[in-house]
Amino acid sequence: MLSRVADSLYWTSRYLERAEHTARIVDINVGLMLDKSAISEERRWRRVLAALGHPRDIEWNDDVYSLVYTLCFSATHVGSVTACVISARENARQIREAISTEQWQRLNRLFHDVSRLRPSSPSDTQLSEFMPTLIDGVHLFQGVTDTTLSHGEGWQFLQVGRFLERATATAKLLAVYQDDVFANSTDVVDAYSYLEWIGLLRTCTAFEAYCKVYTADLTYERILEFLLLDAEFPHSIRYSIDRLHQSLDAIQQESHGQHTTDLMRVSGKLQASLGYAQINEIVAQDPARYLRRILEQCRHIHDLVYEVYIQYSVQTALAM
């Protein structure tokens, strides 16, 4: 596979995953604002921006409507939902020969739906139709991808982008909540903490799945364990890293990669650390540090994917 094709597949998937995550976190926090709790608007939305990795040129400006408009509808801010959809479509457009017609039609339709629902000003922002349209569109693209694209090297690069982005986003979200919410929790859970914990689970589409495992008894340790270490829930970090490692291994076998030792070692080490971790040990030590280490390893995996498959040297290419 050409490196430019692998790159575009990788980023098409990452941008769509990022768009969905941004949409969810904005939607949930807008809903939580209806509860007049002790938390200030500034604190809540600064936490949102931190969980999104402090998107470039997007800052809290004392105007919730303006911030929500920027995060969802701005075409010029690279971290916004609309900009992510535009970037995903542009990457897919460059590799039309590598994806199915159904994939392109689905993504193109999502782009036009997002453009149609874009308000003219922050005061006209309406999320009730935009959010389900965006989230449904991303899910439909993923479903069409799984059913119309051969599960070969190209499909695997889509999975690498999807699950690396998901693991990174969930780790950032948990790290922010660890510093801002969990670190201040007590044995007696107040109404504010309960709503914030529900909001975190809903952001990760995890509330119902969590309740099926632990019932509705929300505790800090159980939420952290579920979103970090659950092997069966698709939005947990462990599940995402398991799928990421499987896809990297499949790409290595299909492409007969001879220079993937470091990449497979780093991803395998991260997979093993999550597979054998126990929540009581993580909580007893430093959960924030553990999450930051996961983020560092995810960034390292991204760098190695580029080094091995996308921006490799001439000497490496000749040796393949």
CA atoms within 13 A on the CB side of 258: 6
Q: Which pairs count as long-range contacts for 43-46, CB under 8 Å and 24+ apart, including other chains?
A: 43/180
Average pLDDT over residues 87-109: 97
Rounded CA separation 185/189 (Å)? 7
pLDDT for 124-159, tens place per residue? 677 889 999 999 999 999 999 999 999 999 999 999
Does pLDDT of 29 surpass 50?
Answer: yes
Strand, coil or helix: 259: coil
* Segment 160-188, tens digit of pLDDT: 999 999 999 999 999 998 887 776 655 55
Task: Assess contact for 17 and 162: CB atoms under 8 A.
Answer: yes
CA-to-CA dists, residue 317 to 2, 71, 182, 254, 312, angstroms:
11, 40, 48, 16, 7
In order, the DSSP letters of 36-66 are --SS-HHHHHHHHHHHTT--TT----S-HHH
Contact by Cβ (8 Å): 23, 81 = yes
Q: Return the structure tokens found at 93.
A: 């457009």
Residues 6+ apart with CB under 8 A from 312: 3, 259
Alpha-carbon separation of residue 35 from 170, 194, 208, 309 (angstroms): 24, 12, 21, 48
Dihedral of alpha carbons 111, 117, 121, 122, sign: negative
The answer to pTM > 0.75 is: yes
230: its two tokens: 């659950």
Two tokens at 317?
A: 């290419």
User: Contact at 8 Å (CB) between 316 and 259?
Assistant: yes
**d(Cα 257, Cα 310) in Å, to the nearest integer?**
13
Per-residue pLDDT at 271 exceeds 60: yes
In the predicted structure, residue 94 carries a pLDDT above the cut 60: yes
The torsion region of residue 256 among left (phi > 0), alpha (psi -120 to 50) and beta comes to: left
